[in-house]
């Protein structure tokens, strides 16, 4: 900081000290029922409260120790009335109270605005016996200057230290308030290495803009650590990281109904509790969120019953993994090795990886109207460009290829990436250099030499490459033929029974990273959820990988692609992922199901199954869909999309969960498509247990 700036800051600090001294009225013991925190710097951290309660039990609460006193503002008339009860003057109180703070009688319902100390007061409220529920408060007149109040709010005594993420957030808020003093105050709380990392981050405009977009969601900042920025910055994947951060904003904004006040009041414990959960797909997540919202453990600051009902319903119908800044940072680590492989294909540059690949992309020139999409290592399908971004589709496919091979980065794996890059329209000398390599030839020659060494150990022998070449070429041709044959894989499951992905493995590295790699292709990643198989009540490792990719790269709608005149198009391909008769059709009572329709189609008849999807009204004419609650039929509607989804929406608005008895929750928009794909005609309902209290009318849960 320049010398002149230091002088100005020092002068302002002296003014704060002077204002504190002038406005200080004295210290007093005050019952904690009189202490209020209307404008806290941060929300309650339950873990810190529990820690303090433990400290109080072991060492006492030390509420009389000056280092632990709490600053508060008091109106002059209220203080005067309390001092009259004590029989002392204001001057006596100011002069003597710091040595032995008296107990002030403020009267029933009177509140003091405290500037700091909410965690210790909450811990005292929950952990101390009633006769001990008081605290010593430093009293200031209510006309404190703004800078003085802010200085008192940022105190450290007996409080949880601010994390670097919280410091960064306050710095940016001060920046937007044009409070340069505040920016420097918060910056001063960082260590030298942290300030260096911050300086580098501030130079990355795209990342700063994305982080600024979630400043209003207070609960996500506790676990954003500037110490993690080495990964954050060195990866040079700014666009992907920014996309993921914007996903945090859009998901949480939806959950909280775009209510700015509620988002400002979110607490770290609640955000930590819901992150990486998908309640609409996972039974354990659904039950956890329902229970914790009902008992008001989650988001205790939201007290309005109607708002809690709205938030609960949106949480329980969330199909994507709920993100936070913590999950973003953790998942960035998963990109490191794939990014390294992709970066090695191109000349070195200081630009981001996306910009580097865009510079070498010539796919638009070579094919103006179509795009190739890889379905397996050796099979492709052509789709029309329409409104799709050709570069984005090609770039995403390279990332997926890199994710498939990074665990085994041998010469053959490198050739796969280079071959795909060349085919999709990326061109540069380093890609051409990789294409000239023939790993099969080298591997076969090595195997022949090792075989001779095994057959004639410790003996010399002459190896004639010319004589061996026909055999090597024959074996190479055989391997090439085998490798060109598409691998047969079953469609991926998004839910499974038994060994599902535990909560702590849903972001960052995990023990299931090597599973489902054969499903990491664009058509499966971007297929709608209801077109994937469901095999239980918990989310699969494929679902986690799908969610991670879409978080960093965004979602693509490939379902409308159709190439006239071709026997294969992406619509048919994606539709074939959906199991047409994956579950046994359900029949309850006298209700009509689709068993007969499924039998008429025949097993594996994808073309006819597609006809059913595209001509839904005529195929299901005369059939009905039954809605069950428990074993009771509550409604039957015609088997057409409008009737089914309208009825499903009505039940969803009542807070009811929609699911099939065979497994799998879903949102009301997918109700009809889910029935068609699974061959069912019965939807089961369960009621979200109501949150106590009176609810608002309209879209709230009905009583």
pLDDT of 461 reads 65
- Alpha carbons 421 and 93: distance in angstroms, whole number: 79
Six token digits for residue 557: 């709608």
Task: Write out pLDDT tens, residues 129-170.
Answer: 877 889 999 999 988 888 788 778 766 544 557 889 989 998
- DSSP class per residue in 596-655: HHHHHH-TT-HHHHHHHHHTHHHHTTT-EEEEEETTEEEEEEESSHHHHHHHHHHHHHTT
pLDDT of 275 reads 97
pTM beyond 0.75: the answer is: no
Q: Is the pLDDT of residue 561 over 60?
A: no
Average pLDDT, the chain: 79
pLDDT of 63 reads 72
Q: Is the pLDDT of residue 95 over 70?
A: yes
Query: Which carries the bigger pLDDT value, residue 610 or residue 485?
Result: 485
- Alpha carbons 561 and 329: distance in angstroms, whole number: 34
- The whole-number average pLDDT for the span 454-467 is 68
pLDDT of 221 reads 94
Task: Write out pLDDT tens, residues 231-272.
Answer: 778 899 999 999 999 999 999 999 999 998 899 888 889 999
Task: Write out pLDDT tens, residues 281-339.
Answer: 999 999 999 999 999 999 988 889 999 999 999 999 999 999 999 999 999 988 999 99
- The whole-number average pLDDT for the span 196-200 is 91
Task: Write out pLDDT tens, residues 349-377.
Answer: 999 999 999 999 987 555 667 888 998 88
Task: Write out pLDDT tens, residues 45-74.
Answer: 788 888 888 878 777 777 777 778 889 999
**Terminal CA-CA length for the chain:** 61
Is the CB of residue 411 less than 8 Å from the CB of residue 442?
yes
């Amino acid at each position: 900081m320049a010398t002149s700036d230091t002088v100005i800051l020092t002068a302002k600090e002296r003014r704060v000290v002077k204002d504190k001294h002038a406005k200080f009225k004295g210290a007093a013991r005050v019952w904690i029922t009189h202490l209020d925190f209307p404008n806290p710097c941060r929300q309650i951290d339950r873990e810190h409260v529990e820690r303090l309660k433990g400290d109080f039990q072991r060492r006492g609460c030390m509420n009389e120790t000056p280092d632990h006193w709490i600053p508060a503002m008091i109106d002059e008339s209220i203080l005067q009335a309390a001092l009259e009860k004590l029989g002392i003057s204001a001057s006596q109180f100011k002069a003597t109270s710091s040595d032995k703070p008296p107990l002030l009688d403020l009267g029933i319902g009177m509140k003091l605005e405290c500037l700091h100390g909410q965690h210790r007061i909450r811990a005292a409220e929950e952990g101390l016996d009633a006769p001990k529920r008081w605290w010593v408060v430093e009293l200031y007149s209510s006309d404190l200057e703004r800078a003085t109040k802010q200085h008192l709010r940022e105190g450290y005594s007996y409080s949880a230290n601010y994390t670097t993420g919280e410091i960064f957030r306050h710095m940016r808020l001060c920046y937007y308030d044009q409070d340069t003093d505040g920016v420097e105050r918060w910056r001063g709380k960082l260590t030298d290495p942290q300030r260096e990392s911050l300086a580098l981050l501030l130079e990355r405009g795209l990342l700063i803009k994305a982080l600024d977009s979630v400043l209003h969601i207070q609960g996500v900042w506790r676990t954003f650590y500037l110490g993690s920025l080495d990964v954050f910055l060195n990866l040079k994947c700014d666009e992907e990281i920014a996309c993921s951060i914007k996903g945090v904003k859009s998901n949480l904004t939806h959950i909280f109904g775009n209510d700015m006040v509620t988002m400002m009041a979110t607490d770290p414990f609640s955000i930590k509790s819901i992150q990486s959960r998908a309640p609409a797909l996972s039974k354990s997540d659904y039950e956890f969120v329902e229970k914790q919202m009902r008992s008001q453990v989650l988001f205790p600051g939201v007290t309005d019953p109607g708002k809690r009902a709205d938030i609960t319903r949106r949480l329980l119908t969330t199909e994507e993994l709920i993100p936070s800044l913590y999950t973003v940072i953790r998942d960035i680590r998963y990109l490191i090795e794939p990014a390294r492989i992709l970066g090695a294909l191109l000349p070195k540059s200081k630009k981001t990886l996306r910009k580097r690949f865009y510079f070498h992309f010539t796919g638009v020139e070579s094919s103006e109207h179509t795009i190739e999409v890889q379905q397996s290592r050796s099979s492709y399908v052509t789709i029309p460009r329409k409104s799709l971004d050709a570069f984005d589709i090609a770039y995403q496919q390279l990332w997926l290829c890199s994710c498939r091979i990074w665990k085994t980065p041998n010469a053959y794996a490198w050739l796969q990436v280079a071959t795909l890059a060349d085919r999709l329209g990326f061109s540069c000398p380093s890609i051409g250099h990789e294409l000239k390599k023939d790993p099969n030839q080298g591997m076969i020659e090595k195997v022949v030499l090792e075989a001779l060494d095994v057959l004639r150990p410790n003996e010399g022998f002459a190896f004639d490459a010319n004589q061996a070449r026909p055999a090597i070429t024959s074996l190479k041709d055989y391997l090439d033929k085998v490798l060109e044959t598409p691998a047969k894989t079953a469609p991926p499951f998004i839910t499974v029974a038994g060994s599902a992905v535990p909560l702590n493995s849903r972001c960052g590295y995990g023990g299931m990273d090597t599973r489902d790699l054969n499903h990491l292709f664009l058509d499966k990643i971007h297929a709608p959820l209801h077109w994937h198989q469901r095999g239980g009540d918990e989310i699969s490792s494929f679902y986690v990988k799908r969610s991670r990719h879409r978080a960093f790269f965004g979602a693509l709608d490939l379902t409308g692609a159709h190439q006239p005149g071709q026997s294969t198009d992406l619509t048919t391909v994606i539709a074939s992922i959906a199991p047409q008769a994956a579950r046994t059709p359900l029949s309850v009572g006298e209700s009509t199901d689709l068993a007969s329709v499924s039998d008429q189609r025949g097993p594996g008849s994808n073309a006819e199954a597609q006809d059913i999807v595209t001509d839904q009204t005529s195929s299901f004419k005369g059939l009905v869909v039954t809605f069950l609650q428990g074993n009771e039929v509550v409604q039957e509607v015609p088997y057409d999309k409008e009737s089914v989804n309208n009825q499903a929406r009505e039940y969803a608005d009542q807070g009811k969960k929609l699911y099939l008895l065979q497994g799998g929750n879903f949102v009301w928009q997918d109700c009809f498509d889910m029935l068609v794909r699974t061959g069912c005609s019965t939807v089961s309902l369960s009621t979200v247990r109501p949150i106590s209290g009176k609810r608002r009318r309209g879209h709230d849960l009905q009583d």
